[in-house]
Amino acid sequence: MKEKSTTPVRSASADQVHQSLRNLLVRQKNACDWLGLRAYREQSTFLGVKNEKFDHQREQVENGVMVEVICDGHFGYAATQDLSDAGLDRAFTQALALARSFASRALHRFSFSEVRPKAQGSYRSPGKITMDQLGFAEASERLTKASLAMKVSDEVIHRMARLILVETSIQLVSSSGTEVDQEFKMLMTDFNAAAKRGSEVQVRSDQGGLARCYQSGMEDLQLDNILPRCYKVGVEAVSLLSAEDCPSGKFDVILAPDQMMLQIHESIGHPLELDRILGDERNFAGWSFVGLEDFGVLQYGSPLMNVTYDPTQHQELASFSFDDGGQRATSEFLIKEGKLVRGLGGLESQARSHKPGVANFRSASWNRAPIDRMGNINLLPGSSSLPEMVKSIERGVMMYSNKSWSIDDYRRKFQFSCEYGEFIENGKVTKVVKNPNYRGETLGFWRSLAAVGDKIETYGSPYCGKGEPSQIIRVGHSAPHCLFRNLEVFGGGK
Amino acid sequence: MFAKDWSQRVESYWNGICGDLFSQLQDSENLSLSLSGENSLYVRTSQAKVRQATQVEQLFVAMVFKHQQKTYHSRQPLTMNLAQDRAHFQEVLKMLRKRLQELPEDPYFVPMKNEGTSHFHGAHAGPEPMQIAEQMLEPTQNLDFVGFLTAGDKVLASQNSLGQRHWFSQNSFFIDYSIYHGPKAAKDLYSGSQFDSKMWEIRLGESRKHLEHLLLPEKVLTPGKFRAYLSPHALAQVVGITEWGAWSFQGYKDGSSAFRNWYDGQVQLSEKLFVGENFTLGLNPRFNENGEVAPEKLMLVEAGQLSNLLVSTKSSQEFKVPANNASLSESPRSLEIRGGDLDTPMVLGTLDHGVYLSHLHYLNWSDRQTARITGMTRFDCFYVEGGKIQGPIKDMRFDVGLFKMWGPNLVALTSQSEVIPNTATYEERSSGGSKLPGMIVSDFEFTL
Ligand SMILES: [Zn+2]
């Protein structure tokens, strides 16, 4: 593996880092029961244009190693940016001291062969073109045109067109013979507009804030795709200014895939995390209404509901070959025909809970220990077409693009709001409504799922938060339009 | 392992690196360097046992390179290995020059200024982080203690090629913890610069007492409006949501600030309400990520009127208004809501009949334009009748208009306030925090 000439060159190339890691293994592997090293290097470029004027550029480089040591079945972790032999040795000594000091107070004693198996392989995401290859000037030019496309009238007072390009490389080596190299390229775009009339302001975006996140490169920043989308963002922002407020009451609701993403994330993904169920997050992110006894038993939703953890999807944001514990990533059903079958837990949670899990033991960067995270959580397509679903509704609302989200620490009572709504009467969309909100309780909500669309759309988010110390992780979600019966719906206002 | 002189070692190394880089600049090039770093022990526990312990030593340099009306921003790791860092930053400087050429001109170019010098070094007096961890766990052994300890050094610094020089370092810790009984928990935060095991046992004792209220029968409320007491921690959650752009001048102009109608004078909030930035709390340095120095105190709300928003130098250029040297995100860094006249021991009696909210969870705007907030009750919230705690409530969702809660519905503010440090640890340990009183409000609406 060669370091790309386009990234700012560090004194040590990726090959040198790999060699330093192996040298440390040779020097120290007899000093502990098990030793693993994770080198993590990431370069992110942020670029934005506001109101057709250059707004911001920022680049961010992360480069460091997490040293993991097991003594008496307990892990110690130490993170360093000093990749010299001396720096790595110092981190090793710290990790060893932590593992030894806390071994007698360990929450669980792990068998390293069970939770850190030998893993060998590589992964490379499909993206090609880097920022340097396209050039800042060209990228800013395209964002400027995107901003202009949103300016459909003088009422559009604010237009932001921005992107984030992330290139990440993760190497794992361990005393059990692990050798994993994974390389990622991710392009995330965000186009949003605010329209104002009198004291009313309405915001519309391209499927929700930063929802278009994919494993791809700058080759996907194509104006023929972007400009029509941006024009639509502008038009819909203005149309919301003359829209009525979403009515209150019990209605049938169709959630578009860009809102299904958030619904899946908050009310399926988080409650199924095994470490939450085991209680690790009780002081911070929260516990879960799901118990270990529910797997294989609980009817989570209607039989139309099929949900997978799928790290194998082309271009979906959280695809990879191995998680940070070295478990090979495979696609697994979490919910099958509405029944809960599997949780989101890596090898450590599987060992603690004796329940099946998935390869989702992931860390945000070199400076954090891995924990159970979401990845790609997808709701599989059904057999209903969107026109059929609309036709089946007497009075209802179709809601697009997440605007606000909130759910309790056990993941029961949620409330979400969307950017844009369409009112449905007697099987037809009759008007645009603004500030559509809905609230409900997780199991009742998923059991009211009455139809699942036949076409999926894929989105993602770079910002899922969890953990102590806290970590931000990237997730992908794909889903079709889905119809839910009889939800509590309401609009905006004081 | 936890060298007592870590931050001093970083400081002298940092001065050397800065001098080195400034000496390589050519005519009319300007460079600002800001450092953010930590040497931290993180220990997370559950059931009074250790789940994961991590030592993190990290330093990042935010570089702002200015030349010919253009600005290039780059954040790079600093390894404290001189050979590695020298070679690396020489390459970075070359790259900055090359890439700056490709960037468009900055339409709101902020010329570099010398914003003076300052120096703060908080002396390290307490036990070493590993000892804190041991002393934290020792008295918790018969409890379902779920806690998170963060301890060690944190440094923030800024220098620029015009001679500006700021340094801020402190050694601190916090224990953010809950003690569970079934699905409910007594939750608290113990923080400071010097861990004291006796004080810790007193705090734990108070939490245990709190836990007794959780043993009373649970009260299930029906949705509706309640008189409510928000503790300083609950109010901190509300303040936290306003930090998403509500105080930002940029947000005011682009329509994303929830306080737009308030700033325009269309709403008048309670005359009891005084809010400001107050850096004398000592949680944060006054300089921001560009080394720009904010005033020691800045009133934002006086007697219910929103008189100032936070204005960065960038917004100042763009909108032609005076800057108050806010951070780039124009979020409060050291917010204080002034206390009122209600003595804390009188809270239950004054509340009389309603809900006592110790902690809230997962707040968000349910309608940003009208400053309406939704969120959940969490941990240790109680139902109160006749000025006495009757029992814990089953968690409820609320949906309230902030302009009502801080306006006609604001009944009283406690005279005692609490300093609540920012405990966020995304990417790095945060600094800053807030100083807040408790608050009694009427018509606090539960919806689910
Ligand atoms: Zn999340």
pLDDT band at A72 (very low <50, low <70, confident <90, very high): very high
What pLDDT was estimated at residue A493? Answer: 79
Q: Tell me: the pLDDT tens digits for A302-343? A: 999 999 999 999 999 999 999 999 999 999 999 999 999 999
With CB atoms and an 8 Å threshold, state whether B425 touches A468: yes
Cα separation, A400 vs A277, whole angstroms = 31
Min CA distance, B58 vs chain A (Å)? 7
Residues of B in contact with A408 (CB under 8 A): 361-362, 376, 378, 395, 397
Same domain, residue pair A440 and A471: yes
With CB atoms and an 8 Å threshold, state whether A81 touches B59: yes
Q: Would you tell me which residues 284-313 of chain B have a C-beta closer than 8 angstroms to some C-beta of chain A?
A: none
Mean per-residue pLDDT of chain B: 96
Asked if the model's pLDDT at residue B4 lies above 90, the reply is: no
Residues of B in contact with A95 (CB under 8 A): 55
Contact B7, B157 (CB under 8 A): no
Q: Tell me: the pLDDT tens digits for B86-102? A: 999 999 999 999 999 99
Residues of A in contact with B394 (CB under 8 A): none
Residue A378's identity, in one-letter code, is: N
With CB atoms and an 8 Å threshold, state whether B95 touches A8: yes
Same domain, residue pair A426 and A382: yes
Same domain, residue pair A8 and A135: yes
Q: Would you tell me which residues 172-201 of chain B have a C-beta closer than 8 angstroms to some C-beta of chain A?
A: 176-178, 180, 183, 185, 187
Q: How far is the CA of A254 from the centre of ligand 1 (A)?
A: 23
Q: Tell me: the pLDDT tens digits for B116-149? A: 999 999 977 789 999 999 999 999 999 999 999 9
Q: How far is CA B139 from CA B47, B52, B142, B177, in A?
A: 13, 19, 8, 13
Same domain, residue pair A27 and A85: yes
What are A205's two structure tokens?
């975006």
What pLDDT was estimated at residue A4? Answer: 35
Asked if the model's pLDDT at residue B295 lies above 50, the reply is: yes
Cα separation, B420 vs B428, whole angstroms = 18
Cα separation, A304 vs A482, whole angstroms = 10
Residues of B in contact with A406 (CB under 8 A): 362-364, 366, 374-376, 397
Min CA distance, A167 vs chain B (Å)? 15
Q: Which H/E stretch holds residue A258?
A: helix A257-264
What pLDDT was estimated at residue B3? Answer: 54
What pLDDT was estimated at residue B296? Answer: 97
Smallest Cα–Cα separation from B304: which of B351, B339, B268, B328?
B268
Asked if the model's pLDDT at residue A345 lies above 70, the reply is: yes
With CB atoms and an 8 Å threshold, state whether A493 touches B46: no
φ, ψ for residue B278, nearest 5 deg: -140, 100
Tell me the percentage of chain A whose pLDDT exceeds 90: 93
Min CA distance, A368 vs chain B (Å)? 8
Tell me the percentage of chain B whose pLDDT exceeds 70: 99
What pLDDT was estimated at residue B1? Answer: 42
What is the 8-class DSSP label of residue A374?
-
Same domain, residue pair A212 and A311: no
Does B138 contact chain A (CB < 8 Å)? no
Q: How far is the CA of A80 from the centre of ligand 1 (A)?
A: 27
Residues of A in contact with B55 (CB under 8 A): 77-79, 91, 94-95, 98
What pLDDT was estimated at residue A1? Answer: 32
What pLDDT was estimated at residue A16? Answer: 83
CATH number, position A42: 3.30.2290.10
Q: Tell me: the pLDDT tens digits for A79-95? A: 999 999 999 999 999 99
Q: How far is the CA of A267 from the centre of ligand 1 (A)?
A: 10
Spell out the long-range contacts of A139-142 with Cβ–Cβ below 8 A and sequence spacing 24 or more: A139/A47, A139/A163, A139/A218, A139/A221, A140/A47, A140/A49, A140/A54, A140/B103, A140/B104, A142/A221, A142/A223, A142/A226
Contact A212, A162 (CB under 8 A): no
Mean pLDDT along residues B65-74: 96
Q: How far is the CA of B241 from the centre of ligand 1 (A)?
A: 17
Q: Do the bridges between strand A377-379 and strand A244-245 make them parallel or antiparallel, or are there none, so unpaired?
A: unpaired
More confidently predicted of B122 and B178 = B178
Query: Which of A242, A274, A304 marks a domain boundary?
Result: A242
Same domain, residue pair A226 and A302: no
What pLDDT was estimated at residue A287? Answer: 98
Residue A194's identity, in one-letter code, is: A
Residues of B in contact with A415 (CB under 8 A): 366, 374, 397, 399, 447-448
What pLDDT was estimated at residue A109? Answer: 97
Give, in degrees to the nearest 5, the angle at Cα B303 between B299 and B308.
Answer: 35
Closest chain A residue to B99 measured between Cα atoms?
A136
Does B329 contact chain A (CB < 8 Å)? no
Cα separation, B422 vs B433, whole angstroms = 4
In sequence order, what are the beta bridge partners of A441? Answer: A413
Q: Tell me: the pLDDT tens digits for B208-233? A: 999 999 999 999 999 999 999 999 99
- For residue A119, the SS3 value is coil
Contact B339, B414 (CB under 8 A): yes
Contact B152, B40 (CB under 8 A): yes
Contact A489, A459 (CB under 8 A): no
What pLDDT was estimated at residue A7? Answer: 39
Min CA distance, A68 vs chain B (Å)? 9
Q: How far is the CA of A473 from the centre of ligand 1 (A)?
A: 8
The domain containing residue A196 runs over which residues? 2-242
Q: Tell me: the pLDDT tens digits for B24-48? A: 999 899 999 999 999 999 999 999 9
What pLDDT was estimated at residue A14? Answer: 74
Q: Do the bridges between strand B30-46 and strand B144-160 make them parallel or antiparallel, or are there none, so unpaired?
A: antiparallel
What pLDDT was estimated at residue B123? Answer: 79
Q: How far is the CA of A265 from the centre of ligand 1 (A)?
A: 6
CB atoms within 10 A of CB A145: 16
Cα separation, B123 vs B310, whole angstroms = 31
CB atoms within 10 A of CB B433: 25
Q: How far is the CA of B416 from the centre of ligand 1 (A)?
A: 36
Smallest Cα–Cα separation from A129: which of A185, A188, A57, A211?
A185
Same domain, residue pair A237 and A333: no
Mean pLDDT along residues A24-39: 92
Say how many Å lie between the first and final Cα of chain A, rounded.
58
With CB atoms and an 8 Å threshold, state whether A492 touches B77: no
Asked if the model's pLDDT at residue A13 lies above 90, the reply is: no
Query: Which of A221, A242, A263 marks a domain boundary?
Result: A242
What pLDDT was estimated at residue A9? Answer: 36
Q: Tell me: the pLDDT tens digits for A476-486? A: 999 999 999 99
What is the 8-class DSSP label of residue A267?
I
Query: Which of A186, A207, A242 marks a domain boundary?
Result: A242
Where b means 16+ CB within 10 Å and e means fewer, B393-414 reads: bebbbbbbbbbbbbbebbbbbb
Tell me the percentage of chain A whose pLDDT exceeds 70: 97
Same domain, residue pair A265 and A227: no
Smallest Cα–Cα separation from A339: which of A273, A295, A383?
A295
Same domain, residue pair A163 and A273: no
Tell me the percentage of chain B whose pLDDT exceeds 90: 97
Q: How far is the CA of B273 from the centre of ligand 1 (A)?
A: 34
DSSP string, A190-246: EEEEEEEETTEEEEEESSSTT-EEES--GGG--HHHHHHHHHHHHHHHHHHHTPEEP
Min CA distance, B6 vs chain A (Å)? 14
Number of domain units in chain A? 2
Same domain, residue pair A275 and A160: no
CB atoms within 10 A of CB B55: 28
Cα separation, A471 vs B21, whole angstroms = 32
What pLDDT was estimated at residue A2? Answer: 34
Q: Is A132 exposed, middle or buried (0-12, 13-18, 19+ CB in 10 A)?
A: middle
Q: How far is the CA of A399 from the centre of ligand 1 (A)?
A: 21
Residues of A in contact with B80 (CB under 8 A): 81-82
Cα separation, A218 vs A132, whole angstroms = 10
Residues of B in contact with A42 (CB under 8 A): none
Q: Would you tell me which residues 200-219 of chain B have a C-beta closer than 8 angstroms to some C-beta of chain A?
A: none
What pLDDT was estimated at residue A494? Answer: 61
Same domain, residue pair A224 and A371: no
Q: Tell me: the pLDDT tens digits for A384-441? A: 999 999 999 999 999 999 999 999 999 999 999 999 999 999 999 999 999 999 999 9
Mean pLDDT along residues A229-238: 98
Sheet holding A307-309, edge to edge: A339-340, A332-336, A307-309, A377-379
With CB atoms and an 8 Å threshold, state whether A409 touches B361: yes
Same domain, residue pair A207 and A308: no
Three-state SS sequence of chain B = CCCCCHHHHHHHHHHHHHHHHHHCCCCCCEEEEEEEEEEEEEEEEECCEEEEEEEEEEEEEEEEEEECCEEEEEEEECCCCHHHHHHHHHHHHHHHHHHHHHCCCCCCCCCCCCCCEEEEECCCCCCCHHHHHHHHHHHHCCCEEEEEEEEEEEEEEEEECCCCEEEEEEEEEEEEEEEEECCEEEEEEEEECCCCHHHHHHHHHHHHHHHHHHCCCCECCCCEEEEEEECHHHHHHHHHHHCCCCCEHHHHHHCCCCCHHHHCCCCCCCCCCCEEEEHHHCCCCCECCCCCECCCEEEEEECCEECCCECCHHHHHHHCCCCCCCCCCCCCCEEEECCCCECHHHHHHHHCCEEEEEEEEEEEEEEHHHCEEEEEEEEEEEEEECCEEEEEECCCEEEEEHHHHCCCCEEEEEEEEEEEECCCCCCCCCCCEEEEEEEEEEEEEECC
Cα separation, A198 vs B117, whole angstroms = 46
